[in-house]
C-alpha cells in the first residue's frame, strides 16, 4: 500500500478541514451568486432606500478612520461585504459540518432510529 492510498482511505484531520473549508467556500460563493441574481430579478428594497450593509460598512469605516463611506465606493463596499461574508460563512460551515459527520455510525443510526419509531 502506498502513502497515497493510506491518506485517501484514512484522511487526516487537516485534510478533512481543508476539504470542508474549500467545499464550504465554494458553496458560499455559489450562494452569493444566486443571491445577486435573485436581487437583480426581485429588488429587495425601493430605489433610494439605504442598503443595510452599506450603512454597516460606513459606520465601521467612520469608527476606524474617521471618514464616511464615499457614495462612489458604496457599490464596491456592499458587494465586498456580501461576497466575503458568504464565502467566510460557507467555509466555516463546511469545516464544522466535516467534523460533525465524523461521529461513530452507531450514534448517527441510534439518533435516526429514534425518529423512525415515531408514529405519524
DSSP secondary structure of 50-83: PPHHHHHHHHHHHHHHSSPPPGGGHHHHHHHHHH
For a pLDDT cut of 90, what percent of the chain falls above it? 24
Residue 120 within a domain: no
Structural domain range at position 83: 16-112
Low-confidence ranges of the chain (pLDDT < 70): 1-14, 101-120
Whether 33 is covered by a domain: the verdict is: yes
| Residue 7 belongs to a domain | no
Overall number of domains in the chain: 1
List pLDDT tens digits, range 15-34. Answer: 878 888 999 999 999 999 99
Torsion (CA) 7, 93, 80, 83 in degrees, nearest 10: 80
Amino acid at each position: 500500500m502506498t502513502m497515497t492510498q493510506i491518506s485517501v482511505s484514512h484522511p487526516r484531520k487537516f485534510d478533512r478541514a481543508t476539504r470542508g473549508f474549500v467545499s464550504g467556500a465554494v458553496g458560499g460563493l455559489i450562494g452569493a451568486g444566486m443571491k445577486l441574481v435573485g436581487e437583480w430579478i426581485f429588488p429587495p428594497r425601493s430605489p433610494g432606500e439605504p442598503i443595510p450593509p452599506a450603512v454597516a460598512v460606513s459606520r465601521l469605516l467612520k469608527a476606524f478612520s474617521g471618514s464616511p463611506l464615499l457614495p462612489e465606493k458604496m457599490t464596491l463596499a456592499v458587494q465586498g461585504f456580501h461576497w466575503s461574508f458568504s464565502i467566510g460563512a460557507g467555509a466555516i460551515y463546511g469545516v464544522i459540518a466535516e467534523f460533525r459527520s465524523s461521529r461513530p455510525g452507531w450514534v448517527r443510526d441510534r439518533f435516526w432510529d429514534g425518529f423512525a419509531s415515531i408514529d405519524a
